[in-house]
Homo-oligomer: A and B are copies of this chain.
Amino acid sequence: MEAVDRIAVCETPLDVAGEYAALQGSSGDGACALFVGNVRDFNAGRDVCGLALEHYPGMTEKSLQGIISDARSRWPLGRVTIVHRVGPMQINDEIVFVGVTSPHRQAAFAACQYIMDRLKTEATFWKHETISDQSGNTLQRWIEARASDAAEMEKWSAG
């Protein structure tokens, strides 16, 4: 088990196949859990034409590093990768890739989910959508944070 972290914030499309190959490549671990989030074509009742993400350079990377460190203190992990896209993107584009290897399946799943739950509530990214209303007009709208994401984080404190 080789502990290597990869954190990247990028404006280019995510290369899921490449990230997976690098993650699994020489990890020596038996288990690999991955999560990929992408732009949905429907959100809160209106059609999404496109989406853009901004972030807080410096703080983002620092918060992601802190999340990975905390995950490593909870589970035996090999490689951990977080890649998050920023800038303008289209429907079905991949926004985030989280990959974790571990000798143990349950640890890989738990760590991957933990990282996503914390990323959602702590990492300094903000989305805004371009939406078209029924008359065909487009407008920009900042996505509101969801209470359900905060609720998901609660379960990690209880344990």
Q: Which residues of A are interface residues toward B (Cβ below 8 A)?
A: 16-17, 20-21, 24, 26, 28-41, 92, 94, 103, 105-106, 108-109, 112-113, 116, 120, 152
Task: Give 7 closest A-B pairs by Cβ, nearest first.
Answer: A17-B17, A34-B34, A30-B40, A32-B36, A109-B113, A33-B35, A16-B20
Assess whether B103 is in contact with A40, with CB atoms less than 8 Å apart. Answer: yes
Q: Which B-chain residue is minimally distant from A94 (CB atoms)?
A: B24
Interchain nearest-CB distance for A6 vs B (Å): 17
Known: A20-B16, A28-B41. A35 touches B109 (CB 8 A): yes
Q: Measured between alpha carbons, how far is A120 from B38 in the docked complex, in Å? A: 29
Show 9 A/B contacts (Cβ-Cβ < 8 Å), sorted by A. A16-B20, A24-B38, A26-B92, A30-B40, A33-B112, A35-B105, A35-B108, A35-B109, A106-B152
- Shortest A35–chain B CB gap in Å is 5
Closest to A109 in B: B113
Q: Is the CB of A35 within 8 A of B31?
A: yes
Closest chain-B Cβ to A48's Cβ sits at a distance in Å of 11
Point out the residue from B24, B28, B33, B39 that lies within 8 Å of A33, measured CB to CB.
B33
Q: CA separation between A109 and B116, bound complex, in Å?
A: 10
